[in-house]
Structure formats: structure tokens, C-alpha cells
Structure 1
Amino acid sequence: MKLIKYLVTLLILWPIFLLLKFIPRRNNVWCFSSYRDSFVDNSKYLFHYVSTKHPEIDCYWVTDDLALIGELNAQGYQAIKRKSAKGILIIIRAKCVFYSSYVSEINHWLTSGAKLINLWHGLPLKKIEFDIDSGVLAKKYGKQFSAEKLYKQIFFPAAYRRADLMFAPTDEMERIFKRAFRLKDKAIVKCGSPRTDQFFDEQSFSALTKKDLAQLSVPEKRKVYIYMPTFRDTGGEFFSKDNFNFEQLNQVMEKVDGEFWIKAHPAAGVENIELSQYDRIKLLPSNIDMYPVLKLSHALITDYSSIYIDYLLLDKPIYFYCFDLEYYKKNCRSMYFEYDEVTPGHKCLTFSSLLECIEQHNDDFAPQRQDIKSIFWGRGYALGCQSIVSRLKS
């Protein structure tokens, strides 16, 4: 079976990819998608913005999730099945394709000759893509030649495609993205991210946020603490008894009149944990859009996830539960910055210290949050959707 797949890739897919470089594409046809066939992240917000604000552009959401296609079409969007005759025809006509991680979210083989816009999924704290120099992913992106790397470039080439356009809010972020993604000059739009535009332009995205919040039972008076850890490249149990005591956590939430909402990373998931006996702890659906939820939250708990960088725009307390910091830096990822210098919040190395910080709630980091925010976002905020569309249309 594998041999057949390899032959199809070499004898059919690569010739199609090369041929499509010479097929004209339509400037007003744009395709969008995101990871795991979900309607999420920067792609989602830019797709909504263009669909509602720019009727002159023919926008399509690409997915193989039939339920999602029906849902989006019922809401007035255009959604197509990736592996269908109609989907293939639209993709090979599209001039611009937008994705949140890799072009395979649309279709690597059918996008040769299209303009690739990589919206990525966060401003980086830890090293990404071709900057990764430690851990299990270093072999995939390292400069050193290997047979394994050549194999992946031939048969799984989407991760090695170079985007034509990305966004970055500051000069520092522009330098990082250019190096990590091997971008050409003038491949960066200086602006914020589409998904954080809603923090500043609520009206344009109210229909989206209301729908996402409708999935939740949002407490009117209780404080919502959002826990969003990043994934570990090495895997392993995360919610173990050494890292979590849900009984104690529930008691602390009662004391502070709060709720603790857990949102696992899409690439990690959660172990088989049972939370039904705890009335103050909630495991959020894997497909929920967290950005409307972040706006209503009281505080964020994370570790090395870039979610805290977006959260800086809300100027709310952040707790860093970094119980495996040294292990993470050694075995998973090195970082662009010194961790303690760009993480404005209490550093909690044990679960008991995390509970103590939450219970005491001493938010002494407001001035530091503003300083760190300027590193990633600058002193102002340029709306991402508007800036990216203007760049492409110009």
C-alpha cells in the first residue's frame, strides 16, 4: 500500500504540481482553511471579514468535514469539500490561499502558482520551524542533510513550502518570522493578527463571538480562570497526580468564587481525566474558539504557549505554571527570549504554588505587562484583517 502511495506521489502528484505553475488563476477567488478541518484561528476570522466586508471577492472555506460545510453554508458562507470535483476546480482557480499552519490545510499539490498566505497560529516564544535547534523536531528542520529529511521533502513537502506573505506586528517579530520561515524581502505585513482584531473591533466579529459563547454556560458573577498549556514535542502524561490535584483546585475556586476552565492544545489533547464530581472545574470542547472566551475571563494560566502573548492585549493577570521548564527547554524547544524576562506574571513551579498565587491574587505585573506587550505588539495595534486585505488588493 505504501509503495502505491509513493508511486502516485512521484508519477502523478508531482507532475500535477509542476504543471499548475503555468495555469492562470483568478484574482478574486480566495480559499481559506485551518488545521484539523476545523473552523478556527486566524483563517476563520479573516475568512469572515472578507466574506462580509468584500463581496467583490469570492471566498471559500475548504474542509472535508461535511457537517461543517453544511453549517457554514447555512450561515451564508461558501464552504466546499476539499476532496470533491468542485473543491478541486475552485482550489486550482484560487489566486490566494490562506492557512493557519501548513498549505496542506488547503491542498499542497493544487496550490502551485497560487499566492500563499501563512497566517500561522501565534507570535512565538519558543523557536519554530527552521529555527528549531533542539528536541525531536530539529532533524526535520535542521540544516544538516539526511536521508530522512529528503524523504519528507519529497513525500510530505507541505511543511517546506515557503509562504509569499505573513504578518508581524513589530520589527523583532518580522526578523523572527523571516528567518524561521525563510521568507523573502517584503513578505511581511506589519499588523496585528486577524483573531485578535475582535479585541479592538468587536462589531465586525459579533456574529462569530455570540455563536461560540452560546456553547458555554458562562457564569455571570464567578471569575473564570482559563488554563491553556502548550503541547510537549515528547508527549507524556500532563494531568498526572504530580502536576494536578483537582480536589484542592476545586476548593480554591470555591474560595475565590471562580471556575477553572481547561482548554487542551489541539496537538496534545488530554488524558482520561474525570471531572464530573467537581462543580468548579470544566473541560472545554476541543473545537471551541477560545478568543471570545478569553475576553470574558478573569485570568490566564499557561506555561510556554504563545497564547499569553495574545492575552497581553487584554491586560489581565497571567500565571505561568512552568513545572517542567528545564526539561522543556532541553528536550522540546529552546526559546527566542529569556523566559523570565518576557513572562510578566507569577512563575509557579509546583501545583501548590499555583494555587497559592491564585488564592492570594496579587497582580503586581501590570506595568511589566505593558513593557512586554510592546516587544511583541508595539505601542499601537494595526488591525490585521484590514491590513492584510489592503496589501493583497494593492
Structure 2
Amino acid sequence: MEKFIAYIVVKLAWFFTWPMPVKKNKILFISYFESKLTGNFKLISKELEKSDKDYEMVFMIRKFKNTLWAKFKYLFSFAVQTYHINTSAVVLLDGNNFPVSNIKKKDDTKVVQIWHACGGIKKFGCDISRRFPIKNYGYVYVAGEAFKESFSSAFDISKERIIPLGVAKTDILYDKDKMEGYKKEIYRRYPVLEGKKVVLYAPTFRGDGAFELKYVNLDMAYLSRKLGEEYAIVYKMHPFLEKINLDKNGSDNIINANKVDIYKLFSVADVLISDYSAIIFDYSILEKPIILYTPDLEEYERDRGFYYDYKELAPGPICKTEKEIINTILTEQYDLEKVRNMKYKFFDHHDGKSAKRVAEHIEELMG
């Protein structure tokens, strides 16, 4: 029923706005991952602002929440998005978009997918069961040539339309001054971290992401107790799970950083614990240790599937229990060579100028 109502709303909005002309200088940004301009879109828009051309940039930034009232508001947003899609020269997405995929797109409108993640380990898009099809994408920007195969499959688009310009937000990770500033900011916010070895836990979600959300629990209190006072643990759940609290005992050495930008946490992290999250690609840029906590590996591979041989791809030890994680950290049994291999295999650009390249390509599309 929800899909049917959304379809009717979009079709009605399309019918009434289709006759409106496309504005040759209009660029539309659509995201449902954040409530404010951040990440890729923020850096790209800043680059576009440097142009001598007078672009009209429209931002439809609304974080999706799985509540009845939020869904109602998002239906209204679909109608507004459809109007802007019909009147924009370029539409930029950082996730799959219902209106884009369910209307007849104008030939003068170019749709570009700037995926919110640097890459994909787990299957997504057209390669998993979906509630609506993906179509009308003109281009997809990726970190490097190595992602062409998976993104072509996920978005059902030819490899020629997959452009390896780099991921704009990763420019921050190459900016030493910016990262040092982040580190000072985090230490001011969490003084307990200064002087300690910081373990960052940043997993992905389980389920379909919209209507079914699950997660794998990691016993933070046990980890903290076994690692000792020399270590502090910071955790940041996937944005869909930001209300999850893994520290039931309120330990000083365990910090809930669900509201903090992940790159800011990278600045103080000495080791990352993750799983099937694409965040391991981002973190590999820093060439710091990574541990994979995957107690459900066989089940996840069967139910969701991967684009790569997970064990071969893994840029560090694969742990199934908290005890294995503790042993790996205390004995420092990391594999930095595999981390570096991931970085240079999947990222084609290491100059911190990806936002500039992306903006230049968008300007070419604008004509």
C-alpha cells in the first residue's frame, strides 16, 4: 500500500510539472541519509560555487525515518522532488531514489549517482530484492576502476557510464591539517581518549535497511575490561541504527559516538573493527589496522551475498568472537600490507582533489 500511494503521488506531481521547462543552470541534490548538507554533497557544492557560472543549486536533504509521520512527510517530499527533477539540468543522488526511478525522465535532465559509500562489499541495488526498480541513471561516479564491475551490476548501467573520478569526501582523509583539527576537536569533546589507544567499532546493519533493521551485538563491557585502562572503545553504529546503545554499564572508557562524523573518529582511531561495511575502504586510505568481526559470515554470505571473496578481500584478521578480537588487539596481529593493497587496488586517485574532478564533470554535463 505504501508503495502504491508513493507511486500515485509521484505520478500526479510528474503530470503537473512535466510541461515546465528544464532550467539549464539548475542542479538538484537529493539525499535521505542526512538532515543537513554534509560529506560528498557539501564538498561538491563548494567546488561548484567557485565556478564563474551562476548555478542554481537546490538541496533536498531529508533523513529517512521509519515512522508513520516521517513517511507522510516524505511522501510530500516525493512530490517536491519530482517537480525539481523535471526542472533541473543535473540531478545528483547519494542513494536510490523513488521518484527518479518511477517517472519518465526528460532527455535534457542528466541523473548522476554519487553513492554515499566509497564502494560495496555486500550486494546492493539491483542485485538484491527491492521494493522498486532502479533506472534513469545517466552516470555513476566511483573511487576507481576496480568498482566498475560491481556498480555496473548494482545499478544496471553500462561500464562506460561508470566514471572513476574518486569520492569527494575522501579528500578530507588526505588533508593532514584537517585531520589534525578533527583530532583536537574529538579530544576536547572526549578528554578520556587522549593518551589512550582508541578502538573504533563501526559496523553495518542487517536487514533491508528500510523496514527491517538488525545488528550484531558486541560486548563492549567485556572488551573494555579485558583490554584494560590503556584502551578506550568508541562505537558508531550505521546511521539507520544511531539510537542503539551498546554500553549498558556506562563505562568511562566506552563512548557512544553515534552522532559524530565518522571521519572525525578516524582521526583518533588506532584500529577499526568493522564487518561488511564499505567504511573499511575509507579507513584503508589512512593505512591503519583493521579487524573484521563477522560471527554471522556464512549466514550473511548466503542471505545477502558479496561482490568479492570476502576472506580474500579482508584487509585484516577475521574474528568470530570477542576473545579473538581481544587477542588480535593485544598481540597486534594486524595485516597492514593487506590494508595498503586495498587502498591502492580500489582507489585510483590519492591527490585529495576528487571533489574538484567531480565538479568539473558536472559542469561538463551542464554544457
Aligned equivalent of 1:373: 343
- The answer for unaligned runs of 5 or more in structure 1 is 66-81, 141-151, 154-158
Q: Following the alignment from structure 1 to structure 2, what is the Cα–Cα distance between the partners of residues 239 and 322?
A: 9
Residue 57 of structure 2 corresponds to which residue in structure 1?
59
Residue 238 (structure 1) aligns with: 215
In the other structure, the counterpart of 2:127 is 131
1:382 deviates by 6.8
Closer/same/farther in 2, CA of residues 253 and 58 from structure 1, 3 Å limit:
farther
**Aligned letter for 2:120?**
P
Aligned to 1:317: 289
Question: SS where residue 59 of structure 2 aligns?
Answer: strand
Q: Which residue of 2 aligns with 1:46?
A: 44
- Taking a change above 3 Å as real, the CA distance of residues 217 and 11 of structure 1, as seen in their structure-2 partners, is closer
> CA RMSD, aligned part only?
3.7
AA paired with 1:330? R
- Following TM superposition, by how much is the alpha carbon of 1:190 offset from its aligned partner in structure 2, in angstroms? 1.8
2 CA distance for matches of 1:198 and 1:375? 20
Secondary structure of the residue aligned to 1:314 is coil
Note closer, same or farther for the CA distance 1:6–1:328 as it changes in structure 2 (3 Å cut).
Answer: closer
User: Conserved in 1, the CA contact under 8 Å of 2:114 and 2:141?
Assistant: yes
Residue 277 (structure 1) aligns with: 250
Cα distance in 2 for partners of 1:126, 1:6 equals 28
Structure 2's unaligned 5+ residue stretches are 64-75
Amino acid at match of 2:264: P
- What does the per-residue CA deviation read over 1:118-149, in whole Å, with 9 as the maximum and x for residues that have no partner? 111220112221233xxxx2xx3xxxxxxxxx
What is the distance in 1 between the residues matched to 2:183 and 2:198?
Answer: 18
Which one of 191, 210, 221 corresponds to residue 195 of structure 2? 221
Change (3 A) 1:16 1:105: closer
CA distance in 2, matches of 1:7, 1:262: 38
Q: 2:23 aligns with which of 22, 25, 32?
A: 25
Which AA in structure 2 matches 1:100?
A: D
Where does residue 69 of structure 2 map in the other structure? none
- Judge conservation of contact 2:22–2:109 (CA < 8 Å) in 1: no
Cα pair distance change 1:4/1:308, threshold 3 Å: closer
TM-score (norm 1): 0.74
Q: CA deviation at 1:298?
A: 1.1
Aligned length: 344
Return the offset for 1:84: 11
- Label 1:382 to 1:108 Cα distance change in 2 as closer, same or farther (>3 A): farther
CA distance in 2, matches of 1:214, 1:7: 48
CA contact (8 A) 1:253 1:260 kept: no
Determine the structure 2 residue equivalent to 1:97: 91
> 1:387 is aligned with what amino acid?
R
What is the deviation of 1:379? Answer: 7.5
Deviation at 1:228, TM superposition (A): 0.8
Check conservation: 2:164, 2:348, Cα contact below 8 A: no
94-103 vs 54-63, greater mean Cα deviation: 54-63
CA pair 3-209 structure 1, distance change in 2 beyond 3 A: closer
The alpha-carbon distance between structure 1 residues 173 and 238, as it changes in their structure 2 partners (threshold 3 A), is closer
> Is 354-363 or 1-10 further displaced after alignment?
1-10
| CA displacement 1:302-321 (0-9 Å, x = unmatched) | 01111101111110000111
Matching residue of 2:321: 350
Structure 1 residue matching 2:137: 3-state secondary structure: coil
| Match of residue 15 from structure 2 | 15
1:389 is paired with a residue whose SS is helix
Between stretches 209-218 and 264-273, larger displacement belongs to 209-218
Q: Percent identity?
A: 22
| C-alpha distance in structure 1 between counterparts of 2:160 and 2:278, whole Å | 25
- Give, as a single letter, the amino acid of the residue that structure 1 aligns with 2:136: R
Q: How far, CA to CA, are the matches of 1:277 and 1:3 in structure 2?
A: 41
> Is the contact between residue 118 and residue 163 of structure 1 (CA under 8 Å) also seen in structure 2?
yes
